[in-house]
Amino acid sequence: MTEVGRVLGTDDARPLDFWVAVADGHYLQLDDVVCTSTPLPDGTQVTIYGVVDQVRARYEGARFDSDVFRAAEGLLPVGIASAAHVSVTRVEPEVFVPPLPGRPVQRAQGLERERALYFDRMEHRFPAGLGRDGQVVWGNLEFLDGTRGAHVNIAGVSGVATKTSYALFLLYALFHHPQAAERTRRARAVIFNVKGEDLLFLDRPNARLGDEQRRRYESLGLSAQPFQDVALWAPPVRHGFGELVPSTVSRQQGVTPYAWSLREFCQRRLLAFLFADGDGEGSQLPLAIAAAERFLANETESQPASQSWVMLAGRRVTDFQDLVDYLQEHRDEVFGAARVSAATVDALLRRLQGSVDAVGHLIRGDLSPEQEEAHRIDVQARQLNVIDIHSLHDRAKRFVVGVVLKQLLQAKDEQGTREPLLFVVLDELNKYAPREGWSPIKEVVLDIAERGRSLGVILIGAQQTASEVERRVVTNASFRVAGRLDTAEAERSEYGFLGPYARARACILKPGSLFLHQPELPVPLLVQFPFPAWATRPEEVAEVEDPWSRVR
Amino acid sequence: MALPTGIRLHPWASSYEGLLEGADEEDEAPGPQVDPGVERPPHEWCPLQPEAPAAPAALLFVDGVRRIEVGVVAQGDDRPAWGLFGSYGAGAVLCRPGRATVMVEDVRRALVLAVSGQQGQLEVPAGSIALRYWVCSIGEGKGQKEVRQEVQHRMRQLEAEVVAGSPARLEDGALVVVDGPLTFLPRWAGQAVPVVGLVKTHHRRYLEEPSLSGCIAALAPGERTPIFLVLTEREADRRFSWYVRVAGSPPLHHPLVGIVRLETWAQGGLDLARRLADITARMLPRFAPPGAWDARAPANLYPVAALEERLRHGLGDYQWVRRSIEAYFYRQGGLS
């Protein structure tokens, strides 16, 4: 171990933080891992590990700020003192005494680094990224897979390529790293594509991946490959005939259109998810929604799975517009039993009418039994399931997300075991689980956050501003990640885990860098993750070159 | 060695914080005889703009500090023998264009006793280290003043060692500036390099004649007076001296504020003295701090003030050292 300095005696050394005077010819930088030891009177050596979170240098012997000019002219002799502040991560044995001033401080390497960051205690672990020293930062798998904790929450401003990229990197590491893969072999993941058609190429190699980035994958113990086992789901083209065609532009091959049958919509009570925009709890609307759902479910209870349309009181309803019309025409039968005002029913019908355009092509009565089977989102077939919702109307987005999550949770509920795990990547949590208001989709997200740990549904949630997300969703996450943050946002209490120094740094983080906080470590660690090995947009897809193309 | 028997603390004898200041020159003492006509006839005295001699590549400022930790008294047969625990240090700052570096720092400690025949060293435990006091007996019957002067003398000796050791550290053409008059500096110290003494205080009046002393007050920053010869009984002790204004006198201040007196041994010859006078007049004003920087500004030059601070720091925390000595006495308890 290299000695880099000694514990400073001119600032208080405390059991949880101390200053190190950096020796001549050495340096300590932010995020360096150090250790020192201090003797007890009985001869026991207490080893203290920590991470550098602040460094400073100053003149000694200068009295005024302007003395710097005198020193530069050679008029005033001054000394330079460098010091680094260390936040203690671990004390072994656990005797909380301050390191004594003057004790030598070493850079923690190898096993000492593992100890300092608790990696040695992690029985099952996954690579969470690279530290700034180029070495692996491990995450404790037991705090992710539900054994002792679950869920990841990622915060960061958009456009810095952090949230989704890191979520994908995590999935890649979880699925492909030998130490993690043995636990995730049968796991599945669902990710919603909300921006462009970015995630439709995860199974293609990235043409812009350089050798340096490949080496970073190597240091992580990963191969630089695209995702191997990917299913792509997209909404169908709106006004198509016959076979459903995916509405995606840049890629059609291998993309499966998804849709629900009207029958399933009625039987499984999915109507509420059309109203997932956070209605006030005081409103009567939920009552009216429940009444309509009950009516539709009762009417279609015994209808065979072979038909995708529904028969309502002898009338054959074959598309969503029909269904809405039916409800409008028979409002007294549908809502009669519920004590809701005419105005509330009007509001409900108005909204339903308004969503016909948005979801009419997703809720269909024209599917054959084979089609219904083929276009139902099934996440079990492939490891990674990308569900494209980027082109959908906002109302339809919420519907798809809400229904998919609800159905996944139901399936896990029925299955009753934690394994195999199901990872759900959901960006824009502030939209789906806002701090204020109630909605069916928020209920599902909360359900995942609170029961997901025991059900084996792991939420990798992301949002720009954690302060706008339901508190319980954020606090249930064992892993807290912060990319670049807005300055004002970083000051909020949701980011208390960052501590004062990381908070300030969070405002200047570069793409590909973020702070990771995990349960065992009292300080956040700066981690970096490599450039995606998979294409994240059409231009990045590495074409397999046709050897004849140049000849022709 | 053990503490000499019969020694008791007498804390009231040491001055505040143990610092000795201004002991270099006698207060208001009449000056020695001078010859003001060595460079110019007295009636032609006026402020001189220095010529532009080849500036030395570096200036080496040498200074020392001293401190009385605690006074002691040994109860002799009939009358008390005074003594003290003192610390002193000396060092040097090398100033080159663009870089000032502390070259030497040396701190020593002494237990001075007005007795005969005691010697050796005393180790006083003080926290992580033991302070080592050399016992020096200056002879029976000496008063408190002589005891204190012994510390001063030893500091000067140490300064002389720094000056004597300096040529090894200096390139050609460097000039050594010693803080204080050269009177106290042993002659062997300055054999190999040009040395000037810099006197900040003006307790002693060298130039009584109004026309001459008026010339001092009339100096503008960067100007000097003509050189005068300080006459002493011994030929070898004679020095050439001159005044330089290093900074303008601030409003409401005595006109001598900002004036320093410099001297060099006459043995070196008038030409060398003239060169040194011009060099100091040209270079020293750059080292003069503004009033707010230091209580003794502007005459307490940057490198000297910084060195003093560092050396004082090197003497150790006064309260701590003093408490350690007292604790040492208590632990020796039964000594009779």
Q: What is the average pLDDT across B118-131? A: 89
**In sequence order, what are the beta bridge partners of A334?**
none
Mean pLDDT, all residues of chain A: 90
Q: Report the b/e string of A120-143 with b at 16+ CB within 10 A.
A: eebebbbbbbbbeeebbbbbbbbb
* Residue A166 Cα distances to A60, A230, A387, A428, A490, angstroms: 44, 18, 18, 15, 19
**pLDDT exceeds 80 at position B217:** yes
Task: Specify the pLDDT at position A537.
Answer: 82
Q: What is the average pLDDT across A316-329? A: 91
Give the lowest-confidence range in A164-168, B17-21, B261-265. B17-21
Q: What are phi and psi of B91, to 5 degrees?
A: -160, 180
Of A229 and A538, the one with more pLDDT: A229
Q: What is the average pLDDT across A495-505? A: 89
Using pLDDT thresholds of 50, 70 and 90, give the confidence band for residue B117.
confident
Tens digits of per-residue pLDDT, B31-82?
688 999 999 999 999 999 998 777 788 899 999 999 999 988 887 667 788 8
Query: What ipTM describes this predicted complex?
Result: 0.82
Q: What is the average pLDDT across A479-490? A: 91
Residue with tokens 């999550």: A405
Of A120 and A551, the one with more pLDDT: A120
Q: What is the average pLDDT across A231-246? A: 86
* Residue B110 Cα distances to A317, A434, B320, angstroms: 110, 76, 17
Please report, rounded to a whole number, the percentage of residues in chain A having pLDDT higher than 90.
60
CB B72, CB B83: distance < 8 Å: yes
Q: What is the average pLDDT across B118-134? A: 90
pTM: 0.82
Using pLDDT thresholds of 50, 70 and 90, give the confidence band for residue B26.
very low
Verify whether the Cβ–Cβ distance B303 to A64 is below 8 Å: no
Cis omega (within 30 of 0) on the bond before A15? no
Task: Specify the pLDDT at position B172.
Answer: 65
In whole angstroms, what is the distance from residue A295 CA to residue A334 CA?
6
Tens digits of per-residue pLDDT, A8-30?
999 999 999 999 999 999 999 99
Verify whether the Cβ–Cβ distance A75 to B102 is below 8 Å: no
Q: What is the average pLDDT across B257-266? A: 93
Tens digits of per-residue pLDDT, B136-159?
999 888 888 888 899 999 999 999
- Cα nearest neighbour of B97 on chain A: A74
Of A110, A115, A25, A33, the closest CA to residue A5 belongs to: A25
CB A267, CB A300: distance < 8 Å: yes
Which ranges of A316-393 would DSSP assign to H, the alpha helix? 320-329, 331-335, 342-359, 369-374
Verify whether the Cβ–Cβ distance A75 to B302 is below 8 Å: yes
Task: Specify the pLDDT at position B6.
Answer: 76
**Half-sphere exposure in the Cβ direction for B303 (13 Å, CA):** 31
Q: Report the b/e string of A483-511 with b at 16+ CB within 10 A.
A: bbbeeebbebebbebbbebbbebbeebee
In whole angstroms, what is the distance from residue B151 CA to residue A297 CA?
105
Give the lowest-confidence range in A145-159, A220-234, A331-345, A480-494. A331-345
| Helices A342-359 and A394-415, packing angle to 10 deg | 90
* B102 contacts on A by Cβ (under 8 Å): 77, 79
In whole angstroms, what is the distance from residue A465 CA to residue B272 CA?
77
Distance from CA of B6 to the nearest CA of A (A): 37
Number of Cβ atoms within 10 Å of the Cβ of B226: 22
Task: Specify the pLDDT at position A439.
Answer: 84
Task: Specify the pLDDT at position A552.
Answer: 43
Distance from CA of A15 to the nearest CA of B (A): 22
- Tell me the three state secondary structure of residue B80: strand
Of A307, A273, A230, the closest CA to residue A400 belongs to: A273
Of B136 and B17, the one with more pLDDT: B136
Distance from CA of B257 to the nearest CA of A (A): 21
Strand segments, DSSP code E, in A417-539 are 422-426, 457-463, 479-482, 513-517, 525-528
Helix (H) or strand (E) holding A170: helix A163-176
Q: What is the average pLDDT across B96-113? A: 91
Task: Specify the pLDDT at position B336.
Answer: 40
CA-based radius of gyration for chain A = 28
Tens digits of per-residue pLDDT, B280-290?
999 999 999 98
**pLDDT exceeds 80 at position B335:** no
Distance from CA of A157 to the nearest CA of B (A): 46
CB A367, CB A318: distance < 8 Å: no
CA-based radius of gyration for chain B = 22
Verify whether the Cβ–Cβ distance A73 to B93 is below 8 Å: no
Using pLDDT thresholds of 50, 70 and 90, give the confidence band for residue A448.
very high
Task: Specify the pLDDT at position A52.
Answer: 95
Of A217, A253, A251, A258, the closest CA to residue A236 belongs to: A258
Give the lowest-confidence range in A55-64, A218-227, A239-248. A239-248
Using pLDDT thresholds of 50, 70 and 90, give the confidence band for residue A359.
very high
Mutate to test the interface with B, among A6, A75, A78, A100 (most CBs of B within 10 A): A75
CB B90, CB B152: distance < 8 Å: no
- Cα nearest neighbour of B57 on chain A: A74
A-to-B residue pairs, Cβ atoms closer than 8 angstroms: 40
Mean pLDDT, all residues of chain B: 85
CB A167, CB A192: distance < 8 Å: no
For Cα atoms A335, A339, A344, give the angle at the middle one, nearest 5 degrees: 65
Using pLDDT thresholds of 50, 70 and 90, give the confidence band for residue B10.
confident
Residues of B with CB under 8 A from a CB of A: 93, 95-102, 128, 286-287, 293, 302-303, 306-307, 309-310
Give CA torsion, residues A391, A394, A432, A373, to 10 deg.
Answer: -60
Using pLDDT thresholds of 50, 70 and 90, give the confidence band for residue B17.
very low
